[in-house]
Protein backbone atom coordinates (compact mmCIF):
# COMPACT_ATOMS: atom_id res chain seq x y z
CA UNK A 1 0.00 0.00 0.00
CA UNK A 2 2.82 2.44 0.82
CA UNK A 3 3.88 2.39 -2.84
CA UNK A 4 0.42 3.54 -3.93
CA UNK A 5 0.17 6.76 -1.91
CA UNK A 6 1.92 10.12 -2.20
CA UNK A 7 2.60 10.61 1.52
CA UNK A 8 4.97 8.94 3.99
CA UNK A 9 3.82 5.71 5.61
CA UNK A 10 5.58 4.05 8.50
CA UNK A 11 5.39 0.46 9.65
CA UNK A 12 7.52 -2.08 11.46
CA UNK A 13 8.49 0.14 14.38
CA UNK A 14 11.21 -1.09 16.70
CA UNK A 15 11.22 -0.83 20.49
CA UNK A 16 13.81 1.98 20.22
CA UNK A 17 11.47 3.95 17.92
CA UNK A 18 8.55 3.30 20.28
CA UNK A 19 10.58 4.80 23.11
CA UNK A 20 11.43 7.87 20.98
CA UNK A 21 7.71 8.35 20.30
CA UNK A 22 6.81 7.63 23.93
CA UNK A 23 4.47 4.92 22.66
CA UNK A 24 3.47 1.78 24.45
CA UNK A 25 5.45 -1.28 23.40
CA UNK A 26 3.73 -4.62 23.91
CA UNK A 27 6.39 -7.07 25.04
CA UNK A 28 4.24 -10.18 24.54
CA UNK A 29 3.83 -9.66 20.79
CA UNK A 30 6.86 -7.41 20.26
CA UNK A 31 4.85 -4.60 18.67
CA UNK A 32 4.13 -0.92 19.12
CA UNK A 33 0.47 -0.22 19.69
CA UNK A 34 -1.17 1.48 16.69
CA UNK A 35 -0.82 5.25 16.53
CA UNK A 36 -2.28 7.29 13.68
CA UNK A 37 -1.83 10.96 12.89
CA UNK A 38 -3.26 13.43 10.39
CA UNK A 39 -0.53 16.02 9.85
CA UNK A 40 -0.76 19.18 7.74
CA UNK A 41 1.92 20.49 5.38
CA UNK A 42 3.47 22.55 8.16
CA UNK A 43 3.89 19.46 10.32
CA UNK A 44 1.09 20.33 12.77
CA UNK A 45 -0.86 17.33 14.06
CA UNK A 46 -4.54 17.91 13.24
CA UNK A 47 -5.88 14.73 14.84
CA UNK A 48 -4.51 11.54 16.25
CA UNK A 49 -5.61 8.12 17.41
CA UNK A 50 -3.85 5.76 19.79
CA UNK A 51 -5.26 2.28 20.25
CA UNK A 52 -4.36 -0.36 22.79
CA UNK A 53 -6.57 -3.03 21.24
CA UNK A 54 -8.11 -4.26 18.00
CA UNK A 55 -10.59 -1.35 17.67
CA UNK A 56 -10.25 2.42 17.54
CA UNK A 57 -8.52 3.05 14.22
CA UNK A 58 -9.07 6.23 12.21
CA UNK A 59 -11.66 5.61 9.50
CA UNK A 60 -10.45 6.74 6.04
CA UNK A 61 -13.85 8.27 5.25
CA UNK A 62 -13.66 10.35 8.41
CA UNK A 63 -10.20 11.58 7.40
CA UNK A 64 -11.56 12.78 4.06
CA UNK A 65 -14.43 14.58 5.83
CA UNK A 66 -11.99 16.23 8.24
CA UNK A 67 -9.70 17.37 5.42
CA UNK A 68 -12.67 18.79 3.49
CA UNK A 69 -13.85 20.60 6.64
CA UNK A 70 -10.41 22.09 7.35
CA UNK A 71 -10.04 23.19 3.74
CA UNK A 72 -13.48 24.86 3.88
CA UNK A 73 -12.34 26.89 6.90
CA UNK A 74 -9.31 28.14 4.98
CA UNK A 75 -11.35 29.53 2.06
Bridge-based pairing of strands 31-32 and 25-26 is antiparallel
Q: Rounded CA gap, 11 and 6, in Å?
A: 16
Write the pLDDT tens digit of every residue in 2-58: 677 777 777 778 889 888 878 888 888 888 887 788 888 888 988 888 877 777 778
Distances (CA, A) of 46 to 8, 28, 39, 51: 16, 32, 6, 17
Q: Predicted confidence band at 72 (pLDDT cuts at 50, 70, 90)?
A: very high
Per-domain residue ranges of the chain: 1-33, 34-75
Instruction: Note every long-range contact of 15-22, with CB atoms under 8 Å and residues 24 or more positions apart, other chains counting.
Output: none
Backbone angles phi, psi at 39, to 5 degrees: -120, 135
pLDDT at 67 exceeding the cut of 70: yes
Q: Predicted confidence band at 1 (pLDDT cuts at 50, 70, 90)?
A: low
Decide: pTM greater than 0.75. Answer: no
Amino acid sequence: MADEVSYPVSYGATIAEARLLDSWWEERRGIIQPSEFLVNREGKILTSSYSSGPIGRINPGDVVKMINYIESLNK
